[in-house]
Chains A and B, each alone.
Chain A
Amino acid sequence: MPFGNTHNKFKMSYAAEQEFPDLSQHNNHMAKILTPDMYAQLRDKETPSGFTLDDAIQTGVDNPGHPFIMTVGCVAGDEETYDVFKDLMDPVIEDRHGGYKPSDKHKTDLNAENLQGGDDLDPNYVLSSRVRTGRSIRGFCLPPHCSRGERRAIEQLSIEALDSLEGDLKGKYYALKNMTEEEQQQLIDDHFLFDKPVSPLLLASGMARDWPDARGIWHNDNKTFLVWVNEEDHLRVISMQKGGNMREVFTRFCTGLTKIEDLFKNRGHEFMWNEHLGYVLTCPSNLGTGLRAGVHVKLPNVSKHEKFGEILKRLRLQKRGTGGVDTAAVGGVFDISNADRLGFSEVELVQMVVDGVSLLVNMEKRLEAGEAIGDLMPEQK
């Protein structure tokens, strides 16, 4: 249970106006949507596991936000959060996911055969390719709200399932609290190790409680398929390799995910999923596919072009530095990935990345040669 929130019924002795947070300095989706009336309507509700409105919004109250980057400002404590608090969640989702309506249906497509091309991104430019998503195990509370017992049960289930993987997916689990120094260093060198969260966005939601209990990393022997257990979500699943063969990365991603899902089902567990929201994860920004497919790509010339931002926008792509979110690009190398998560299938999103990066690399080559790129400008996708 998240810290600090006394039993919800006790708060009812105060009027809603007395409890309503001061959001006057705030710039996040929750703050833009949560009115005093909505707060009054929702504040006496709880999900079956006891997650409350105040639990959901604490992170958004504590982190007023950035003038340029609009954070979400609320999290889910369990699957039912998206239903019990739909009056808040639906508009947040609509704002965050480009107008996605409560009546819209999300398409899931994890058939890598449906991807066209993607195996020939120029490795002189595309240094590495990666696809990640998250999965939540139905019936368990999510990281902001889970108890130690639940978190450990999730870890145990995950280890059992992952241990059954075979072939090129065969691998090993490294629990954060049992790791040796050598194992830790190797995982850092492989860029696999995740740290205790330091971002106040995550800390304020209660996700880092009891660290490092029941947290760990699993990866296959080939170091191309990796699962994080109990970080920001129950599971984060990552497929990656050097070079530009996004097709291979995505194929392994789909195969691995599908196998893992089967292994969980064999043990009587399924992933949280529904036809409106797709895969259900802790942060509303990761609903739908939860998928971020990206490359590290050298674009020293294109990135300086005045239309770079516009090009990315039209391609439905976003840029990050090579350290991940909130970092700077180094040496003209950018992390380019899909901007969307919900309302497009996995195949569609990876297709956008493959096609978009291909175009960007062509533009880069043109600019290198001193040629113009005006005729290559894309339409808005």
Chain B
Amino acid sequence: MSNFILRKAEPKDVSDILRLIKELAKFEEMEEQVILTEKELLEDGFGDHPFYHCVVAEVPEDHQSSDGYTVIGFAMYYFTYDPWIGKLLYLEDFYVMKEFRGYGIGSDILKLLSGTAVKTRCSSMHFIVAEWNKPSIEFYKRRGASDLSDEEGWRLYAIEKDDLVKISTKTR
């Protein structure tokens, strides 16, 4: 299938984006953790202060998915900052529906975002992958990705809302 386009997401795409987010979370066995709503996606991506940027992959109607969708892949990214090297592009989510894999859509999305990174003066494109997700790790390593957790020992930590509130009220 060579017939697909990649385009910037628009406000009308939020319900497709949320659907694809949930499909990816299901694959990662964490579907119940998705609490984001369409309303939040709309406000956070298309409001005054966008927290993310999004690219969608779309096929023509005659190639729609078995359940009738034409938006069949997405990538969500934003810009982060490394005080040593400056701007980075951070790839938050990247997903192509199962029935549309193997046609180079994922590859093209990755290349598009790499182009965006270079154009916007980013030194690097960063992302996280679960260590059990062998197919994804292979996909990225085949294209030259390096594993900073293995190579340099970086570990991801998170402080959830309740503890965040606790430490914030202790300001002097």
Chains A and B bind each other: no
Hey, which bits of chain A sit against chain B, CB under 8 A?
A: none
